[in-house]
Amino acid sequence: LIYCYRKPKTKRAKRFLEKREPKLKENTKTAMLIRGGNANLTVTEVLKDIYAVKKPFAVLYKKKNITRPFEDQTSLEFFSKKSDCSLFLFGSHNKKRPNNLVIGRMFDYHVLDMIELGVEKFVSLKDVKNSKCPEGTKPMLIFAGDMFDVNEEYRRLKSLLIDFFRGPSVPNIRLAGLEHVLHFTVVDGKIYMRSYKVLLKKSGCKIPRIELEEIGPSLDLVMRRTHLASDDLYKRSLKQPKALKPKKKKNISHDVFGTTYGRIHMQKQDLGKLQTRKVKGLKKRPAEKAAEGGGVSPKKAKSA
């Protein structure tokens, strides 16, 4: 809105533009799910299922778009600008790369990272016949396997998947509503994505016992090509504005044992002017008085 050469004439247009401008605290990232020119049934089903998981923060493009993300990124950037989406999932299929999915994210409407994954096995939402969790539940994300830390590409993939499936950032969460969990395991270079419904069973103590029921799409993925952002561009995209940093409370420190200490700064006190008459503990008791002024008591001395 700040850099708008055409001022919006209606309040609705103004709201639309304000939603899209860069802000301190950003909107939840939306994803666009695009079908390539030669997408087959499997890939289309995958896109539809992931749309169901990511609703309402996703847009499913109905028509096929003949582009190649790894060669030419302009059409993806154009779509991102039009629909204000910073995540995308592009599905295609050809003989060399069967059942191909390109998952990626944008920074400032330019492609930041892109990773190509091949779908080896896919079980759709429709094939698993049981009740699912409601749309829009924030899923719990679990990544298992040491490859996610060791290998740089897998680390970026982990960051991409967290970004993709995270959902809105909330301050509070209803504990009974933790129903959905997405579990990613990497074994031998293959990534297994499974989605479960969480059943909280009574256990003796406060923490419930967890039982899982498989729902939702389950994918067996293998990593193919990658197009990762350069280090400095990635660092620039990670930069958060200073205003968002949590304000440090001064004069509070913590102990190893968890005790909180506070510091109070006092002015210099004139100890001669301390009010001691009102402190009962400092008053001389009659026995003390007698012992002290045994010979001379001030009143007697005066009268004499």
Partner 1 sequence: MAAVRVEEVLAAAEEQEAEKRRSVTVEKELELEFDLGNLLALDRNPPAAASGLRGAGPRREALLRALARDNTQLLVARLWELPAERAGGAGGPLVARLPDPAFRLPREKPPPRPRPPTRWEQFARLKGIRRRKRTSLVWDEQAKEWRRRWGYRRAGGDPARAWLAEVPEGADPEEDQFARLRREKRERVARNELNRLRNLARAHRAGTAVPAAPLHPTGHQSREELSHVARVARVSTASLGRFQPRLPKEPAEPPSRSGGRKRRFEPLLGNLAAERSRQLELLRDMGKKKPVLDITRAVNKQLRQEEAEAAAAKGKKQSQRGKRGRRQQRVGRKSKKSGGRPQQ
Residues 26-55, interacting with partner 1 (CB under 8 A): 26-27, 29
| Site for partner 1 contains 236 (CB under 8 A) | yes
The span from the CA of 156 to the CA of 158, in Å, is 5
Q: Which residues pair with 200 in a beta bridge?
A: 210
Token pair in block for residue 34: 């695009």
Beta-strand pair 31-36/58-65: parallel
Q: Up-side HSE of residue 18: CA atoms within 13 Å toward CB? A: 7
Among positions 62, 74, 207, 280, the unique one binding partner 1 when judged by CB under 8 A: 207
> 72-101 mask for partner 1 (x: CB under 8 A)?
--------------x---------------
| β partners of residue 31 | 58, 87
Query: CA–CA separation, 289 vs 33, rounded Å?
Result: 93
Closer residue to partner 1 in complex, CB, 50/181: 181
Binding flag, residue 188, partner 1 (CB under 8 A) = yes
Under rule CB under 8 A, residue 2 binds partner 1: yes
Strand partners, 108: none
Among residue numbers 132 through 161, which ones bind partner 1 (CB under 8 A)? Answer: 138-146, 148-149, 158-159
Determine which residue in the list 42, 192, 223, 228 makes contact with partner 1, applying CB under 8 A: 192
Both tokens assigned to 229? 């952002």
Q: Which residue, among 131, 130, 64, 73, has the nearest Cα to 104 in the 3D structure?
A: 73
Three-class secondary structure of residue 294 per DSSP: coil
Q: Contact between 112 and partner 1 (CB under 8 A)?
A: yes
CB of 57 to partner 1, least distance (A): 12
Binding mask 252-271 for partner 1 (x = CB under 8 A): -------------x------
Query: CB 29 → partner 1: shortest distance, Å?
Result: 6
